[in-house]
């Protein structure tokens, strides 16, 4: 059983054991020289590890929890996070651990290394799939190297790999991962060279940056680019970059460092260097008999090969579906910091100003045709902000995921979602809204005559309560006070407040103490020099978490203004005795406003064939998103207005818990959500209140009906419907 093969002993026959990347490196070492020392950790080592520790079955369980076709991208990320945490918290069994430790210690001692993936089959998919698996730069010391080997193994099941599972042929029984541990060469200049320009076969391309190559490969540093004539070696063109920084090894990891003035002025490669890199890729072409994409670095004028792989003429298209959008969410710390500034200083103030401008328009005074134009405008405005939501707000949510990964790497908690406890904040909009509700409920609880008057639907005199109630409706209902809609909203709100008054709010003091402890524990794991960076990351993650909760409420402000105009249109049209007004689309409403004689076609009732069977759920599986057991009666919420019927002790069943719905959460015995994910509003708020929660239950709102008896297992993610008799 070969767990380890030194790179200089690897031959072509070892591809299944060490992966194509390692074989390519070995061949380059034989023919071109100057490949840094490396050890290949074979696929056998992976198999021994997952079989001896029972991980293979546990991965199975995670992957089969529900069909991939029913999983949202957030759920894929969750699956991947849970699997990654299993690898993080499961040590190697003693024998293979000993073998790896001895080999790693004898070759690398305390030298810095790079730990790379080398999955067999990766080479056949070519460079178009590069980046789906992880590599770690500047890893030092036997213990840390072995931990990072486990992380590279885990990346076989990364979210990106799961997205491309069909193309990768991912299969728990057969998929394996080999790893290359290689001495790091801290190059002065690094880059990538393509022996053949995919756009013009007579040219080669060289890209170069100062410092480590990782900055170029992950796109965080713009490279200088040269186009070379393949035949003559002549430089055809040079496109300089805006040079300002480089990536350098730092402590255990890497960091950006500013370039000196001289470096910022000068191209990273001289003509002589360019000629040497050209010669290197020509050698690679000759060794592999096909065009190559070679990663290289130069230190003290010596050229090293880091990686060589074939260039695919036709890249697998990763841009024509939602997957490329999802992959674009994986952003760097610096990118997220810039995005935060844009969101907090530019987008949110603009959104609030726009909502406020719309709120100031007196819709009642508008002529019908003016109202139609207003609706069309508002619809366009909503679409514009929905676009911003998807392209800026949602990507910013990656900040908490990035933090989660760092937290798990440093702390290795048993619960992979422990990090969420550090991110909670009282400053979230939904928390503010809930606080207002709780405050009003507490006034009712303390003031008997007020409670009695409210229960009996009588007039009541309580200045503080009244003004708070009006302020709440003004702020959150989107209806101008005094209108019939606002009055309807007010009555429903009073009914809810009376129910809330019967239940005191859970004390969150304990939560705050826990958060402080976890924060200390996290920061202590960093050496003093890196604590500031850890603080910055935590701060970014908290902003990201807050934004994840607030963004829907912000977008809701614009939605409210569209609904306000639509309600005004419906009120006017209602007077013309047009039936089914609620079912009219925005376009139809506008048509009716423009043309009083236009009568929308009535939708014909669908004929459904008689049912042969009645489907009833008994036990449904989702994601265990909030630990606890909840027993109660289901309340299925399809429209927000139905929330006001919610009774204390019921189980909330909905498509997705929007922040605007979270005020009923303290009354819930449990939460079931169709939408899946551990970092979505339902899961976040359930954790906040310690309520059992299961998310990602397919068809939840269709299979479960209001009034069904439910038992919710938030530890395992199981919902049992009905009583226990057959």
Partner 1 sequence: MKKCMNTELRLKQELKKLFNKQRLAVLATQKNGQPYSSLVAFAATDDLKQIIFATSRATRKYDHFSNDGRVALLIDSRTNKVADFHKAIAVTAVGTALEADQRVRQHYVKLYLNKHPHLTEFVQSPACALVQISVKTYYVVRTFQNVVELHVA
Give the interface with partner 1 as residue ranges (CB under 8 A).
57, 60-61, 63-66, 173, 608, 610-621, 699, 702-703, 716, 718, 726
- 100: how many CB neighbours lie within 10 A of its CB? 22
CB 460 within 8 A of CB 451: no
- The two tokens of residue 707 are 């009034």
Residue with Cβ nearer partner 1 (173 or 272) = 173
Planar angle of CA 486, 488, 490, nearest 5 degrees: 70
H runs (alpha helix) in 456-584: 463-476, 484-501, 509-524, 531-574
Residue with Cβ nearer partner 1 (265 or 699) = 699
Tell me how far, at minimum, the Cβ of 709 lies from partner 1, in Å.
14
Tell me how far, at minimum, the Cβ of 374 lies from partner 1, in Å.
34
Nearest to 84 by CA among 195, 193, 180, 160: 160
H runs (alpha helix) in 389-428: 394-396, 398-411, 420-423
Residue with Cβ nearer partner 1 (26 or 712) = 712
Tell me how far, at minimum, the Cβ of 611 lies from partner 1, in Å.
5
Residue with Cβ nearer partner 1 (58 or 499) = 58
CB 682 within 8 A of CB 693: yes
CB 4 within 8 A of CB 17: no
Tell me how far, at minimum, the Cβ of 76 lies from partner 1, in Å.
17
Tell me the DSSP string of 682-715.
HHHHHHHHT--EEE--TTHHHHS-TT-EEEEETT
Residue with Cβ nearer partner 1 (411 or 621) = 621
Count CA atoms within 13 Å of residue 30 on its CB side. Answer: 14
Tell me how far, at minimum, the Cβ of 220 lies from partner 1, in Å.
39
Tell me how far, at minimum, the Cβ of 706 lies from partner 1, in Å.
15
Residue with Cβ nearer partner 1 (207 or 708) = 708
Given the structure tokens 């919902």, which residue do they identify?
Answer: 719
Tell me the DSSP string of 667-678.
G-SEEEESS--S
Residue with Cβ nearer partner 1 (172 or 347) = 172
CA distance 22 to 50: 22
Residue with Cβ nearer partner 1 (447 or 706) = 706
Tell me how far, at minimum, the Cβ of 171 lies from partner 1, in Å.
11
CA distance 677 to 694: 9
Tell me how far, at minimum, the Cβ of 627 lies from partner 1, in Å.
17
Tell me how far, at minimum, the Cβ of 170 lies from partner 1, in Å.
15
CB 362 within 8 A of CB 374: no
CA distance 726 to 709: 14
Tell me how far, at minimum, the Cβ of 150 lies from partner 1, in Å.
22
Tell me how far, at minimum, the Cβ of 614 lies from partner 1, in Å.
5
Tell me how far, at minimum, the Cβ of 720 lies from partner 1, in Å.
8
Query: Cα Rg for the chain, rounded, in angstroms?
Result: 30
CA distance 625 to 713: 10
Planar angle of CA 50, 150, 6, nearest 5 degrees: 100
CA distance 273 to 247: 20
Tell me how far, at minimum, the Cβ of 674 lies from partner 1, in Å.
10
Map residue 549 onto helix, strand or coil: helix
Residue with Cβ nearer partner 1 (574 or 707) = 707
CA distance 162 to 158: 6
Tell me how far, at minimum, the Cβ of 690 lies from partner 1, in Å.
24
CA distance 530 to 523: 9
Residue with Cβ nearer partner 1 (667 or 704) = 704
Tell me how far, at minimum, the Cβ of 609 lies from partner 1, in Å.
8
3-state SS, 134-186, equals CEEEEEECHHHHHHHHHHHHHHHHCHHHHHCHHHHCCCCCCCCCEEEEEECCC
Residue with Cβ nearer partner 1 (65 or 546) = 65
Residue with Cβ nearer partner 1 (513 or 638) = 638
Residue with Cβ nearer partner 1 (48 or 700) = 700
Tell me how far, at minimum, the Cβ of 669 lies from partner 1, in Å.
21
CA distance 74 to 91: 27
Residue with Cβ nearer partner 1 (72 or 337) = 72
Nearest to 549 by CA among 393, 410, 705, 667: 393
Nearest to 494 by CA among 451, 464, 446: 451
Stated length of the chain: 726
Nearest to 484 by CA among 560, 570, 382: 570
The phi, psi pair for 677, rounded to 5°, reads: 140, 150
Residue with Cβ nearer partner 1 (67 or 457) = 67
Residue with Cβ nearer partner 1 (100 or 620) = 620
Given the structure tokens 């076969």, which residue do they identify?
Answer: 201
DSSP assignment letter at 717: T
Residue with Cβ nearer partner 1 (461 or 613) = 613
Tell me how far, at minimum, the Cβ of 616 lies from partner 1, in Å.
4
Residues in a beta bridge with 39:
6, 181
CB 519 within 8 A of CB 538: yes
């Amino acid at each position: 059983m070969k767990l380890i093969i030194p790179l200089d002993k690897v031959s072509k026959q070892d591809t299944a054991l060490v992966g194509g990347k390692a074989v390519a490196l070995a061949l380059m070492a034989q023919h071109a020289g100057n490949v840094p020392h490396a050890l290949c950790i074979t696929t056998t080592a992976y198999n021994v590890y997952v079989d001896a520790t029972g991980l293979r079955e546990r991965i199975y369980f995670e992957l089969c929890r529900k069909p991939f076709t029913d999983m949202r991208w957030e759920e894929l990320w969750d699956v991947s996070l849970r699997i990654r945490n299993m690898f993080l918290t499961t040590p190697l069994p003693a024998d293979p651990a000993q073998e790896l430790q001895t080999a790693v210690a004898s070759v690398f001692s305390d030298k810095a290394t790079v730990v790379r993936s080398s999955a067999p089959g990766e080479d056949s998919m070519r460079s178009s799939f590069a980046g789906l698996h992880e590599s770690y730069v500047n890893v030092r010391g036997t213990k840390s190297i072995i931990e990072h080997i486990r992380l590279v193994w885990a990346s076989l099941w990364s979210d990106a790999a799961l997205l491309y599972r069909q193309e990768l042929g991912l299969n728990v029984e057969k998929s394996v991962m080999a790893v290359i541990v290689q001495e790091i060469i801290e190059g002065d200049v690094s880059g990538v060279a393509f022996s053949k320009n995919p756009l013009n076969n007579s040219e080669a391309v060289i890209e170069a940056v100062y410092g480590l190559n990782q900055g170029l490969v992950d796109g965080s540093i713009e490279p200088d680019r040269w186009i070379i004539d393949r035949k003559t070696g002549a430089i055809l063109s040079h496109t300089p970059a805006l040079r300002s920084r480089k990536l350098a090894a730092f402590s255990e990891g890497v960091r950006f460092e500013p370039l000196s003035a001289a470096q910022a002025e000068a191209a990273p490669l001289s003509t002589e260097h360019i000629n040497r890199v050209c010669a290197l890729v020509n050698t690679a072409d000759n060794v592999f008999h096909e065009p190559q994409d070679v990663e290289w670095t130069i230190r003290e004028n010596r050229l090293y090969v880091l990686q060589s792989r074939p260039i695919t003429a036709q890249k697998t298209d990763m841009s024509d579906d939602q997957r490329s959008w999802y992959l674009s969410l994986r952003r760097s710390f610096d990118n997220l910091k810039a995005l935060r500034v844009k969101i907090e200083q530019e987008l949110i103030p603009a959104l609030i100003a726009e909502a406020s401008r719309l709120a100031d328009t007196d819709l009642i005074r508008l002529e019908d045709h003016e109202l139609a134009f207003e609706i069309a405008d508002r619809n366009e405005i909503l679409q514009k902000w929905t676009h911003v939501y998807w392209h800026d707000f949602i990507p910013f949510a990656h900040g908490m995921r990035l933090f989660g990964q760092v937290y798990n790497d440093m702390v290795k908690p048993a619960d992979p979602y422990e990090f969420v406890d550090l991110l909670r904040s009282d400053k979230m909009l939904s928390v503010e809204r809930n606080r207002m509700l709780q405050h009003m409920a507490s006034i009712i609880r303390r003031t008997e005559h007020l409670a009695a008057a409210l229960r009996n639907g009588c007039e009541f005199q309580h200045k503080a309560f009244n003004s708070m109630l009006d302020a709440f409706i003004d702020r959150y209902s989107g209806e101008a006070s005094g209108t019939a809609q606002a009055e309807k909203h007010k009555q429903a709100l009073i009914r809810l407040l009376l129910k809330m008054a019967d239940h005191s709010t859970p004390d969150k003091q304990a939560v705050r103490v826990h958060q402080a402890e976890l924060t200390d524990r996290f920061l202590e794991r960093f050496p003093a020099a890196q604590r500031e960076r850890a603080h910055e990351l935590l701060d970014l993650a908290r902003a990201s978490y807050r934004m994840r909760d607030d963004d829907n409420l912000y977008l809701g402000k614009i939605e409210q203004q569209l609904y306000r105009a639509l309600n005004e249109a419906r009120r006017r049209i209602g007077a013309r005795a047009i039936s089914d007004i609620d079912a009219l689309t925005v376009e139809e409403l506008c048509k009716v406003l423009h043309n009083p004689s236009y009568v929308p076609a009535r939708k014909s009732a669908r004929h459904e064939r008689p049912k042969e069977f009645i489907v009833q759920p008994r036990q449904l599986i989702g994601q265990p998103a909030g630990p606890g057991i909840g027993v109660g009666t289901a309340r299925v919420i399809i429209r927000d207005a139905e929330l006001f019927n919610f009774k204390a002790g019921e189980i909330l069943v909905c498509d997705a818990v929007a922040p605007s719905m979270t005020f009923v959460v303290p009354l819930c015995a449990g939460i079931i959500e169709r939408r899946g994910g551990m970092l979505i509003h339902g899961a976040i708020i359930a954790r906040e209140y310690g309520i059992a929660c299961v998310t990602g239950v397919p068809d939840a709102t269709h299979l479960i009906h209001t009034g069904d008896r439910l038992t919710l297992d938030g530890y395992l993610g199981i919902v049992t419907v009905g009583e226990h008799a057959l």
